[in-house]
Amino acid sequence: MFLDRDGTLIEDRGYLSDPAGVEFFPETIPALQRLAGHFELFLVTNQAGIALGITPAEAVARVNDYVADVLARAGAPLRAVYCCPHSREDGCLCRKPSPHFLLKAAADHGIELARSFVVGDHPHDVQCGLNAKARGILVLTGHGSAHGDEVPPGGEVVQGIAEAAELILGRLG
């Protein structure tokens, strides 16, 4: 299970640099607790604020570490955190919709991408999953509500992370 951060698990506060600004959606932790019983959880986040000089890499790492710590203490640990520090203009290999980090996770952790899901609030999250032969789900939280009609063919749309968890767990039988 590959999860976007801002707008998917937590409120999107722009270029977040302080863990004190992290606000989880109320359904995030219960949904991830349920998913953790069936899936390895990974965080995959684009953080262009680093490349743009808005947010120091160390601050982004502190926020990611805080999110990971909260989830671990709640029984939904992240197996790994992957963070692209580049802007769209950098043309890097790791920025979603590139499947770079999914392929890395598959290689490093023995993940079967065809049995994996990518959940995020932007069409590039869905496309990232599809590019890796995984399934992509757009949540209508965060930026998702503005992009619900832009989901690539093969992607799915749900209200939020709780509905994404229900859909995914329903597919397990």
Give the max Cα distance, the chain: 46
Q: Is 90 a catalytic residue?
A: no
- Note the pLDDT tens digit of each residue in 83-125: 999 999 999 999 999 999 999 999 999 999 999 999 999 999 9
Q: How do strand 117-120 and strand 41-46 relate by DSSP bridges? A: unpaired
> What pTM was estimated for this model as a whole?
0.96
Domains (range + CATH), the chain: 2-171 (3.40.50.1000)
pLDDT at position 94:
97
Average confidence (pLDDT) over 66-70: 98
Whether residue 127 contacts residue 133, with contact meaning beta carbons closer than 8 Å, is answered with no
Q: Which residue has the tokens 């999107």?
A: 12
Catalytic annotation, pick one of 4, 12, 65, 90: 4
**Nearest Cα to 166, choosing from 34, 38, 77?**
34
* 4 is annotated as an active-site residue: yes
Q: Are strands 41-46 and 78-84 parallel, antiparallel or unpaired?
A: parallel
Per-residue model confidence (pLDDT) at position 172 = 85
**Given 6, 65, 90, 108, which residue is catalytic?**
6
